[in-house]
Structure 1
Amino acid sequence: MKKSFEAYQLHTGDVIASIGAASGVWEIGLASMQSGLTFYIQDIDEYSCNDEEVAYAKAYWERQLGRAIDGTFYAILGTPQKTNLPKSTFDKVLIINAFHEFQYLEEMLHEVSQILKPVGKLIIEEEIALTQGQIHEGCGLPLFSETQLVNLLEANQFRLDRIVEKESYLKVFIFEKK
């Protein structure tokens, strides 16, 4: 998580959306490393993405750390085609190990472009296919190659800023709006 935190460059006062975040366990863990963050935890699964589950995840982290986490967390239920997040609001939009699961890639990328502030960053942390046709072990869906992912984003109004390699198969892609 520390390497992700460093790659994301989160700062006090940042307003962050995390799409496909379930109950926000990862996001709340990130917030434990930096005070003053606001997270909109978004998912399409109403059973994991709700106020009760987010509060449970926060309480879990606080028990583990033995201290309160200074952050604000909102659960937002979306659909496969809409985030239901407010426009021009976010300094950063995170998609952590979920991009390969999107059913409507171009629609969601348009949504992300709309919800980011003009100088906001889209950060995608994703397992990358090392061989053609490789699938994600957890969900069984196809993975993107690095080239496929970058080309898709660049064709949809984003420009690659940088790539941070966590492992040979796991990378953090940081994009800006064109």
Structure 2
Amino acid sequence: MKKRISQLLGLFLLLTTSSLAAQENRYTLKDGDRSGIGKWYMDREIAQVMGYQGMSWLERDERETEENTTTLLENMNISKTDDIADIGAGSGYHVFRMATRATQGTIYAVDIQEEMLTAMRNKKSDGKFANVTLVKGSEKSINLKPNSVDKVLIVDVYHEMSFPYEMMASIKKAMRPNGKLYLIEYRAEDPNVPIKKLHKMTETQAVKELKAVGLILKENKDNLPWQHCMVFVKE
């Protein structure tokens, strides 16, 4: 009996060690762009996170013109009963616009910065957005229940995720079987898009990275001025 227990314990330790080794090998640490964190995933350097100090840029008056945010929400075809997660919600620019459309659903506003959550909490203080739920995420998880959302929105945030594989696995788990992920990233294919290199992505790179967690590109809606609007679904 003791021998059997010892064998099982040895197997458990072997599997655990192998899993940790796989995670470590997933990322590479090396020098890179000054806008990056020196960490690479699938040949892409991860960008520095935009801190809460840049909140005013998220709320800038020119954003509708530069990004055509109204068209973005129309692309999502939001229904009244949709449950939607906005990952890296920031100050809630998209959150509260979606809340007026999914009036019978829930908008989960997920962010890892307490200052961003506080800004959204202040916007909710008048009681008009009872269908908005604030969620404190982590670097590896969005902290939502499995099969809890119909749609996921990630706007100009994916390229800053420190652990993209783990985060996308967490997002996939939260998506319902027919759920859709709307990945919005500035087009790296277009040199005229006035954004730093590490804060842009190509469609090819995005497809490669999301396929690693079992998400495939259904379509790329090419109707935003500067950004991809890539729609991913579960394999």
TM-score range, shorter chain: 0.7 to 0.9
Larger Rg: 2
* In 1: Cα distance, 2:102 partner to 2:148 partner: 20
- Please state how far the C-alpha of 1:81 moved relative to its aligned partner: 1.0
Match of 2:204 among 138, 147, 166: 147
Residue type of the partner of 1:11? S
* In 2: Cα distance, 1:30 partner to 1:82 partner: 22
Secondary structure of 1:49's match? helix
* TM-score normalised per structure 1: 0.82
* In 2: Cα distance, 1:117 partner to 1:33 partner: 20
- Please state how far the C-alpha of 1:57 moved relative to its aligned partner: 2.8
Higher relative contact order (CA 8 A, sep 6+): 1
Match of 2:167 among 88, 108, 120: 108
- Please state how far the C-alpha of 1:116 moved relative to its aligned partner: 0.7
Aligned-residue CA RMSD (Å) = 2.4
Residue type of the partner of 2:86? S
* In 2: Cα distance, 1:16 partner to 1:54 partner: 16
* In 2: Cα distance, 1:131 partner to 1:169 partner: 8
Question: Is contact 1:43-1:76 (8 Å) kept?
Answer: yes
Q: Which moved more, 1:161-170 or 1:113-122?
A: 161-170
Match of 1:5 among 63, 73, 94: 73
- Please state how far the C-alpha of 1:28 moved relative to its aligned partner: 0.5
Q: Residues 166 and 8 of structure 1: is their aligned pair in 2 closer, same or farther, counting only changes over 3 Å?
A: same
| Larger helix percent | 2
Q: Residues 168 and 5 of structure 1: is their aligned pair in 2 closer, same or farther, counting only changes over 3 Å?
A: closer
* In 1: Cα distance, 2:194 partner to 2:225 partner: 16
Match of 1:76 among 131, 135, 154: 135
Question: Is contact 2:217-2:231 (8 Å) kept?
Answer: yes
- Please state how far the C-alpha of 1:30 moved relative to its aligned partner: 2.5
- 1:23 matched to 2:91? The reply is yes
| Larger strand percent | 1
Q: 1:100-156, CA deviations, whole angstroms, 9 ceiling, x for partnerless residues?
A: 111111111110111111111111111121268x9944xx74422111112211232
Secondary structure of 2:221's match? strand
Secondary structure of 2:200's match? coil
Structure 1 gaps, min length 5 = 63-67
Question: Is contact 2:81-2:102 (8 Å) kept?
Answer: no
Between the two proteins, what is the percent identity of the paired residues?
A: 27
Structure 2 gaps, min length 5 = 1-68
Secondary structure of 1:5's match? helix
* In 2: Cα distance, 1:113 partner to 1:168 partner: 28
Equivalent in the alignment of 1:130: 189
